[in-house]
Amino acid sequence: MRDSIEDLSALSRRGELDPAERRRLELTLASSSEARLLHRAGLELDEGGSMLPGDDALAERVKRRVMARVLPVAPARRRRLLPWGIAAAVACVTVAAAATVVGYRPLRALFSTSAAPAPQQQRERAARTTAVPVAPQVVPSAEAKPSESGVPVVSTLAPAAAPKAVAALDASSPGELFASAASARRRGKAQEAMLLYDALQSRFPASAEANAADMALGMLRLQRGSARSALDHFTRYLSRNQRAELVPDALWGKAQALSSLGRVAEARRSYQSLLERYPDSTYAAAARSKLEASKPEP
């Protein structure tokens, strides 16, 4: 039955109503505040629940974790691997202990979690799995203000987050700042993460980490409703990285930001570009659906 308001509302959200049903929906919504609230809540959740840049990597990680848990390792292989695994673990512990005692710098660096800048690919992967963004003179967003050097610096940090973030700002390398920012994001400290990513881009604008930070900042700002700033980050990332691993994420993020800004035609172009260049990406189905939903009426 397609007469109940719940059904009309649900079908409207999928774009499956004919003109007569749409009219009926409008009349019902106009006469019932409860129905209107429920419908509006559904529309809000549709908007907020759509895919975000970085989801591709997130979905892949979830998939791998489930597969590792569901599919047991073959017993024979496990037997062969076990002694080697134990031997490798013992060797690692021994070398790390020796490095600590002797103070041999290269070895300490090797076993440190925060030092040594990672290669480009590792940074790209980190950007996907955590949440990055930033660049040179990016995005004077609402929460940013110019520093003495003219570079935007975010200053609205929640008091509780301030001490940790301020300490992290003293990091001596882009790798350390990037790691601190990613850690803050994983802990759900979005403000702190944005502060650190912004600082990374301000202090080390030419670094690969600053480049990757554009994606994280775009994602964070998009999630927090700063579509214009997010768009700047995604656009800059795309202009600098024609074939990088995160390009599909950036195209999706750009389209989302443009949609939020009401620039429908440009958003459609970004979805189309995503589909043409990456027809098998995780975003493909969602992009098709967005294109269908935003199709101009004849």
| Residues in touch with other proteins (CB under 8 A) | 1, 4, 6-7, 10-11, 13-14, 30, 33-38, 40-42, 44-46, 48-52, 55, 58-59, 61-63, 65-67, 69-71, 156, 158, 160, 186-188, 190, 223-225, 282, 285-286
Give the shortest CB-273-to-other proteins separation in angstroms. 20
Q: Which residues of 226-240 are buried (b: 16+ CB within 10 A; e: fewer)?
A: bbebbbbbbbbbbee
Residue whose CB is less far from other proteins, 59 or 89: 59
The vertex-246 CA angle with 240 and 252, nearest 5°, equals 100
Letter for the amino acid at 272?
Answer: Q
Q: How far apart are CA 64 and CA 80, in angstroms?
A: 23
Give the shortest CB-191-to-other proteins separation in angstroms. 8
For 248, other C-beta atoms within 10 Å of its C-beta total: 21
Give the shortest CB-235-to-other proteins separation in angstroms. 21
Bridge partners of residue 153, in order along the sequence: 145
Give the shortest CB-63-to-other proteins separation in angstroms. 4
Residue whose CB is less far from other proteins, 42 or 205: 42
Question: Would you tell me the crossing angle of helices 208-223 and 190-203 to the nearest 10 degrees?
Answer: 150
Give the shortest CB-64-to-other proteins separation in angstroms. 9
Give the shortest CB-232-to-other proteins separation in angstroms. 20
Structure tokens at 149: 């050097």
Q: How far apart are CA 95 and CA 75, in angstroms?
A: 30
Give the shortest CB-48-to-other proteins separation in angstroms. 6
Structure tokens at 186: 């994983």
Residue whose CB is less far from other proteins, 67 or 265: 67
Residue whose CB is less far from other proteins, 130 or 201: 130
Residue whose CB is less far from other proteins, 10 or 153: 10
Q: What backbone torsions phi and psi does residue 241 show, to the nearest 5 degrees?
A: -130, 90
**Contact predicate 252/51, CB 8 Å:** yes
Residue whose CB is less far from other proteins, 267 or 286: 286
For 160, other C-beta atoms within 10 Å of its C-beta total: 9
Residue whose CB is less far from other proteins, 31 or 94: 31
